[in-house]
Structure 1
Amino acid sequence: MVSANREMVVYCFDTLLAHYNGEEAPPPAFDGGQHPLFVTWKKVVNGGEPRLRGCIGTLEARCLINGFKDYALNSALRDRRFPPIQPKELPYLECTVSILVDYEIATNYLDWEVGKHGIIIEFNDPDYNARRSATYLPEVAAHEGWTKIEAIDSLMRKAGYNGVITESLRKCIRLTRYQSTLFTMHYGEYVSYVKTIRGSTPCVVGAKA
């Protein structure tokens, strides 16, 4: 099984810096298998709790090299919940790559474990006769301190459902659970690693440190 690793995060940072500099990123130092993946950016200010700055990925298998290249930029620059990440924010960023594995159809909406499983829900919106779906990665519910029902209800809202959430509606959910491997690196660690491996310090041309 392919696991998330340091070189994948390095490639995401490389890709973002190359975008700012109008260059091509250095070739990645990992193989290009096919897996579902996510890229998450968070911002750490004054030693506080890292705050989400962007997270986009795919639940379908994609070539890891192309996938991390695309989603490193999409999550940093095109997550509609946030303004695009600016070069001046780089020193405060941390990046997490996730590779999703072990997809399983659950027996019901409670058939999963907080902190272990990511979940995908699918259900019919009775108010609009529309099919809705959404996902949370495995770490989300645990980080928020949610119970299973709180996570499910939040995910239904994320999917765009604005009506009353009832137990009968929850029981109609089709839930798929999955697991993931993660690797997280702060920008400062990335700079030190690249300087050690390549002998040069990565930077954005014209950006203030």
Structure 2
Amino acid sequence: MTGAVGKGPEAYLDASQRNDLLGIARRALDRYLGAGEIPPEEGARGKLAAPGAAFVTLTKNGRLRGCIGYTEASAALFRVVQECAVAAATEDPRFPPVSPKELPSLRVEISVLTPLVPILPEEVEVGRHGLMVAKGRMRGLLLPQVPVEWGWDREMFLDQACVKAGLPPSAWRHGATLRAFTAEVFGED
């Protein structure tokens, strides 16, 4: 598992809770792709039952296979992870739906998000912040690990967040709003 991105010395979830969430995501994928339903999760307590925002990323052979998430805490964290795991496998418009035979080769990664807060471009820290860029009805989001994986500096990160929103790369200089978050990122080995 990877550690927290952009967090201080204490992570929001402990190792047991992170493992529980990974198991919840995996069971949701297995059950949904096998039987067409999301399994009930009995006994989710504490932080897993509290409202939370998260993204679930699926990779296959080190390549993105699906990624869906919620930026606002609208349901229990365990439920958000279940729904996002299924949506990443079946609803990401960039990819065809995951087939049941692909399940063993998929790796699950979860990003638990802090609330979005306004940020100035010069305050953005690569590797610490995720970004939501918005202008009018256009908006795009990049998780904190994305610019690190691609080797981007701050300006490239801001540009690419704009591109993700369907805006010109320099929109962050011309009236687009920026909101940042941090994420605790962990995944299957």
Q: Fold match, TM over 0.5?
A: yes
Residues 73-124 of structure 1: CA deviation (Å, up to 9, x unaligned): 0011110000111122122111011111154321x2231110111111122x
Q: Could you tell me how far apart the structure 2 residues matched to 1:111 and 1:8 are?
A: 31
Whichever residue aligns with residue 27 of structure 1, its letter is: E
**Which residue is equivalent to 1:42?**
59
**Which residue is equivalent to 1:127?**
none
2:155 corresponds to 1:154? no
TM-score normalised per structure 2: 0.81
Q: Which runs of 5+ in 1 are unaligned?
A: 45-49, 124-129, 187-209
CA RMSD, 1 decimal: 2.1
**Which residue is equivalent to 1:175?**
178
Q: From the superposition, tell whether residues 24 and 102 of structure 1 become closer, same or farther in structure 2 (CA, over 3 Å).
A: closer
TM-score normalised per structure 1: 0.74
After the TM superposition, which residues 42-191 of structure 1 pair with which residues of structure 2 at under 5 Å, given as runs? 42-44=59-61, 50-61=62-73, 62-101=75-114, 103-106=116-119, 108-123=120-135, 130-161=136-167, 163=168, 165-166=169-170, 170-186=173-189
2:72 partner SS: strand
Which contiguous aligned blocks of 4+ residues in structure 1 show a shift greater than 4 angstroms?
none
* Pairs aligned (count): 171
**Which residue is equivalent to 1:8?**
21
Q: Could you tell me how far apart the structure 2 residues matched to 1:26 and 1:137 are?
A: 28
Aligned-pair identity (%): 29
**Which residue is equivalent to 2:39?**
25
1:7, 1:28 within 8 Å by CA — same for their partners in 2?
no
Q: From the superposition, tell whether residues 179 and 20 of structure 1 become closer, same or farther in structure 2 (CA, over 3 Å).
A: same
Shift of 1:182: 1.7
Q: Kindly name which structure, 1 or 2, has the bigger radius of gyration based on alpha carbons.
A: 1
Shift of 1:152: 1.5
Shift of 1:147: 1.3
Shift of 1:156: 1.2
Q: Could you tell me how far apart the structure 1 residues matched to 2:125 and 2:177 are?
A: 16
2:56, 2:110 within 8 Å by CA — same for their partners in 1?
yes
Of 141-150 and 16-25, more deviation after overlay is shown by 16-25
Q: From the superposition, tell whether residues 28 and 157 of structure 1 become closer, same or farther in structure 2 (CA, over 3 Å).
A: farther
Q: From the superposition, tell whether residues 25 and 51 of structure 1 become closer, same or farther in structure 2 (CA, over 3 Å).
A: same
2:159, 2:170 within 8 Å by CA — same for their partners in 1?
no
Of 79-88 and 22-31, more deviation after overlay is shown by 22-31
Q: Which runs of 5+ in 2 are unaligned?
A: 1-10
Whichever residue aligns with residue 149 of structure 1, its letter is: E
Whichever residue aligns with residue 78 of structure 1, its letter is: E
Shift of 1:178: 1.0
1:70 partner SS: helix
2:141, 2:161 within 8 Å by CA — same for their partners in 1?
yes
